[in-house]
Structure 1
Amino acid sequence: MSASRVSLPGAMTDSATPRASASRATSSPRFVIRQRRGFILPDLRELWHYREIVYFLSWRDVKVRYAQTMLGAAWTLLQPLALMLLFTYAFSRVGSVKTGSVPYPLFALAGVAFWTFFARAVTGGSESLVQNAALLTKVYCPRILIPISTIMAALADLTLSLVLLIGVAAVYDYYPTWRLVLLPAAVLLGVLLIAGVTFLFSAINVRFRDIGQALPFLVLSWLFLSPVAYPVQNRVFELNPLAGVIDAFRWCVLGTPVTASSLLLAGSITVGLLVVGTGYFVRAERTFADIA
């Protein structure tokens, strides 16, 4: 008596099982995660959503800077004044620096005011990620807002220095003209330059702390390569983007000459630094929490 094989309706035979399993396996969706390539911009909507962090960190930086000091924010005015007096003695008395019709103390104070802003923003911004390591590891926010907040805190000091500069200029019978309307454009160019340098240095400094050690020397060298205490007399110095920014700042306040070539070079180099600095920062920030 031979056994017969009965197939029930709806039942799956043994021979059909592997074929159906393979069909289901090939039809399953697959997700492949790839890293974005090319230049990556920060999410502007996200930056706007977290904008209050900039205000909080900027205000904290200003408060901490002058905490437990007798003179407080007055140091913002005393530091450029002291440098102005030093440069006046060194370059006007001992050396011979020609500044045209503008008195040398005014010329030096205008350069020192912007230089102090630049040095404070670059130095503080480059160290900002390391100094806020807890914020990187425990709280989520766009990391790029941390160096931006340092720049904004330094910008508040520049505002006070500008008031001092206009007051000292009035003593020498120099009063603001229509050029002062263009001052925000000159300051914006400087802010973009500082942002490009700061984004790059701060991101590198998270991985290689040598930047923090070398930064004081780099900033001091940049001082003597910039027209802070003397006017630009060599076209080679125009390759320094800060030269065009400081000359534009002086022109807006004091009417000293500025060349179109220096402004063009400053703008071009600033855009390049901003693109490179921002791109490197956005690519490197995904590893900040692991390194900091």
Structure 2
Amino acid sequence: MVITPPGRLNLPRWRELWDAREVAYRFGQRDVILRYRQTAVGIVWVLLQPLVAAGIFSIVFGNLAGLPTDGVPYFLFSYIGMLAWNLFNGLVSRASGSLVANQALVAKVFFPRMLVPISSLFAVLLDFGVALVLGVVLLVVYGVNPGWGVLLMPVWLVCLLMFALGISLAASAWMVKYRDVTYVIPWLLQVGLYATPIAYSLSAVPEAFRWLFYANPLAWLVELFRASMLGTTPSEAWLAPAAVAASVVVLFLGVLVFQSREREFADLI
């Protein structure tokens, strides 16, 4: 094996990533074990977070504010929205600090560094899968039939993961040099929770301000994911192709940023 430094604008060596996939698996396995080891209720925490958030949103935005939900029970509407948000939030939160958290390995052991943030997918997808099962149960309880549109849910799920991973790769690379990112990411995610239609639909936003929300690609992905799960119609026809294109572009840019800074990791971390 010949180890050469990565180019600044070259794409990663995909064969090298695939050959070292066991590293990503071990990182992911460790994250899952550490997350649930010595917890009293274990994976129940995964269900409590979206349930409590959906309950609070139902009281504040559903009962007090009376926001429309396209004919869907508000609790179910907000819970499905939280599924998409928690997937994005969980991946960005975990992956953005993954290089710094594993600085001893990054500085001393050779392996494709991109596998460190990618390994965060394992724990995030496990949490999502458990919460999704409860979401399906809620669909049955409320008698909501999503129809054939539910077949597109995996497409929007993959797009959401690509979008989140692109942001995570760039953030993790920047955090190695600029630890300010540690404080910026939680703040941006907190703002993003309300700037993204989780507790409300895009149709509830006044026309004069709707362009602000349409400028947020994450809003497109959440709207499409929820529409496929609940059988509703997206507010605009262009959301689907725009969401796919945005996901691909963000992932590509995230890979480029990560690859351009990878050669500095061992010296700076």
Q: Judge conservation of contact 2:97–2:182 (CA < 8 Å) in 1.
A: yes
Distance 1:128 1:260 in 2: 37
Letter in 1 for 2:162: L
Which range moves more in the overlay, 155-164 or 202-211? 155-164
Distance 1:264 1:239 in 2: 15
- Which one of the candidate residues 37, 48, 60 is aligned to 1:67? 37
Match of 2:227 in 1: 251
Which range moves more in the overlay, 80-89 or 172-181? 172-181
1:100/1:61 CA distance change after superposition, 3 Å: same
* 1:150 matches 2:126: no
RMSD after superposition: 1.7
Structure 1 segment 30-69 matched on structure 2, within 5 A: 36=7, 39-69=9-39
Letter in 2 for 1:281: F
How many residues were matched structurally?
Answer: 259
Match of 2:255 in 1: 278
Shift of 1:267: 2.7
Q: Judge conservation of contact 2:95–2:120 (CA < 8 Å) in 1.
A: yes
- Which one of the candidate residues 215, 238, 248 is aligned to 1:239? 215
Q: Judge conservation of contact 2:146–2:232 (CA < 8 Å) in 1.
A: no
TM-score, length of structure 2 as denominator length: 0.91
Percent identity for Structure 1 against Structure 2? 37
Larger radius of gyration: 1
The one-character-per-residue Cα deviations of 1:53-94 (angstroms, maximum 9, x if unpaired) are 121111211111122210101111111001010100010111
In the alignment, structure 1 segments of 5+ residues that lack a partner are 1-32
1:276/1:94 CA distance change after superposition, 3 Å: same
Distance 1:291 1:98 in 2: 50
Match of 2:104 in 1: 134
Q: Judge conservation of contact 1:238–1:265 (CA < 8 Å) in 2.
A: no
In the alignment, structure 2 segments of 5+ residues that lack a partner are none
The one-character-per-residue Cα deviations of 1:259-282 (angstroms, maximum 9, x if unpaired) are 222233333332332222111101
**What SS does the corresponding residue of 1:72 show, helix, strand or coil?**
coil
TM-score, length of structure 1 as denominator length: 0.85
Match of 2:238 in 1: 261
Shift of 1:176: 4.8
Q: Judge conservation of contact 2:16–2:112 (CA < 8 Å) in 1.
A: yes
Distance 1:72 1:158 in 2: 15
